[in-house]
């Protein structure tokens, strides 16, 4: 398999990296202005009609730069599932606003102690012609910025996904948790094809793409540091122990990169991507935090200085590992797939 980016994706990667480097303080609006948030929008809504692979390229570059932008939420948990599962009216309502950078839309696939719950404990019942939602969602990316949240819930006939305003009456935001206490939504807020499996696939694909970039960016920072920093009159990179540790991080980074590319490629091609996503997500949850710990160690005290960018990569990887459900959860899910 050729893992080289094609011309279009290479141009997207270069443009994203350039935009993030030129205007880090206004990165999200700069990405929108460059047209990088509308890549996966259908052409009739002013987009380019591209798919998960191109979105993943933007996410990877955002991770590489350690950019503090709601890319995972709005692109992997907003644009992609809305484009797949939303009605024409829902897509027309939300996708252009996401692409403009003015609105953040995210999703809430997790519940307390139940990552990617296939049968959500959040309930939706009909009251006076409306749907009423009750339940708690956790680890919702960019929740504080979100204007709309895709909320999986159990309807009388099975799971579905609703579009919910986190500021609606009965909704309460606590950090990354969303508590719903009798929140009313209409029939127009129910996605036409509320596939929780698709929502999970997009979430994992986005997480591994973003994590791929975050680890690669941390590796680049660390290799530059150990080349320049001297100890006992020699660059740190010339010490065998340091070289061995950098090699371990390089192996983790390259393995995550290949696993992420393979998973996203299968998802983009409409192939069964579950096993590849499971492998990539496990590697992200298990190995990426260890790699970032080594990067911190090799930086010494500089690694925890908030004026130096490494802490952003570390925090991002930690959040992504939690978003996958954690290493044990990912290993269990991978075992289920292999056993099946």
184 has which bridge partners?
132
- What pLDDT is attached to residue 4? 81
* Lowest model confidence (mean pLDDT) among 3-7, 197-201, 330-334: 3-7
> What number of other Cβ atoms are within 10 A of residue 156's Cβ?
9
- What pLDDT is attached to residue 300? 86
User: What is the tens place of the pLDDT at every residue in 42-101?
Assistant: 999 999 999 999 999 999 999 999 999 999 999 999 999 999 999 999 999 999 999 999
The answer, yes or no, to whether residue 171 has pLDDT greater than 80, is yes
The answer, yes or no, to whether residue 29 has pLDDT greater than 90, is yes
The answer, yes or no, to whether residue 27 has pLDDT greater than 90, is yes
The answer, yes or no, to whether residue 240 has pLDDT greater than 80, is yes
Q: How confident is the model at residue 338 (pLDDT cuts 50, 70, 90)?
A: confident
The answer, yes or no, to whether residue 247 has pLDDT greater than 90, is yes
Q: How confident is the model at residue 1 (pLDDT cuts 50, 70, 90)?
A: low
- What pLDDT is attached to residue 2? 65
Specify the higher pLDDT residue, 168 or 192: 168
* Mean pLDDT, rounded, of the chain: 94
Domain spans in the chain, listed from the N-terminal domain onward: 7-103, 107-189, 196-339
User: What is the tens place of the pLDDT at every residue in 281-300?
Assistant: 999 999 999 999 999 999 98
CATH placement of domain 7-103: 1.10.540.10
The answer, yes or no, to whether residue 276 has pLDDT greater than 90, is yes
The answer, yes or no, to whether residue 152 has pLDDT greater than 90, is yes
**What average pLDDT score do residues 157-177 get?**
96
Q: How confident is the model at residue 230 (pLDDT cuts 50, 70, 90)?
A: confident
How far apart (Å, rounded) are the C-alpha atoms in residues 37 and 71? 9
Share of the chain above pLDDT 70, in %: 99
Class for domain 196-339, per CATH?
mainly alpha
The answer, yes or no, to whether residue 192 has pLDDT greater than 90, is no
- What pLDDT is attached to residue 215? 98
Are 262 and 210 within 8 A, CB to CB? Answer: no
The answer, yes or no, to whether residue 108 has pLDDT greater than 80, is yes
Distances (CA, A) of 47 to 33, 36, 42, 76: 13, 10, 5, 16
CATH placement of domain 107-189: 2.40.110.10
Q: Exposed (0-12), middle (13-18) or buried (19+): which is 272, by Cβ within 10 Å?
A: exposed
- What pLDDT is attached to residue 159? 94
How far apart (Å, rounded) are the C-alpha atoms in residues 177 and 170? 14
209 alpha-carbon distance from chain centroid: 7
Would you list the DSSP string of 87-120? -HHHHHHHHHHHHTTS-EEEE--BBTTBTT-SS-
Q: How confident is the model at residue 216 (pLDDT cuts 50, 70, 90)?
A: very high
Q: How confident is the model at residue 195 (pLDDT cuts 50, 70, 90)?
A: confident
């Amino acid at each position: 398999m050729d893992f080289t980016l094609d011309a279009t994706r290479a141009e997207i990667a270069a443009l994203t990296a350039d935009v993030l480097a030129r205007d880090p303080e206004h990165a999200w609006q700069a990405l929108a202005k460059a047209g990088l948030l509308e890549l996966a929008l259908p052409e009739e809504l002013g987009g380019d009609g591209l798919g998960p692979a191109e979105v993943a390229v933007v996410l990877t570059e955002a991770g590489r730069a350690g950019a503090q932008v709601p890319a995972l939420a709005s692109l992997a948990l907003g644009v992609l599932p809305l484009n797949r599962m939303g009605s024409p009216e829902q897509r027309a309502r939300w996708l252009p606003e996401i692409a403009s950078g003015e609105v953040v839309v995210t999703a809430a696939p997790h519940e307390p102690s139940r990552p990617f719950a296939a049968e959500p404990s959040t309930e939706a019942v009909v009251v006076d012609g409306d749907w009423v939602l009750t339940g708690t969602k956790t680890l919702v990316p960019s929740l504080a910025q979100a204007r709309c949240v895709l909320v999986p819930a159990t309807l009388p006939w099975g799971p579905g996904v609703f579009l919910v305003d986190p500021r609606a009456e009965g909704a309460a935001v606590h950090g990354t948790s969303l508590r719903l206490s009798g929140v009313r939504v209409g029939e127009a807020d129910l996605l036409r094809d509320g596939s929780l499996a698709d929502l999970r696939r997009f979430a994992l694909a986005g997480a591994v793409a973003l994590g791929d970039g975050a680890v690669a960016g941390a590796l680049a920072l660390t290799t530059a540091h150990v080349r320049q920093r001297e100890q006992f009159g020699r660059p740190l990179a010339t010490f065998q122990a340091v070289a061995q540790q950098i090699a371990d991080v390089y192996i983790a980074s390259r393995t995550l990169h290949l696993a992420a590319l393979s998973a996203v490629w299968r998802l983009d091609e409409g192939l069964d991507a579950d096993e590849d996503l499971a492998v990539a997500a496990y590697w992200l949850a298990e190995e990426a935090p260890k790699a970032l710990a080594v990067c911190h160690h090799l930086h010494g005290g500089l690694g925890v200085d908030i004026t130096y960018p490494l802490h952003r990569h570390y925090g991002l990887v930690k959040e992504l590992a939690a978003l996958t459900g954690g290493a044990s959860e990912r290993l269990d899910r991978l075992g289920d797939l292999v056993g099946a």
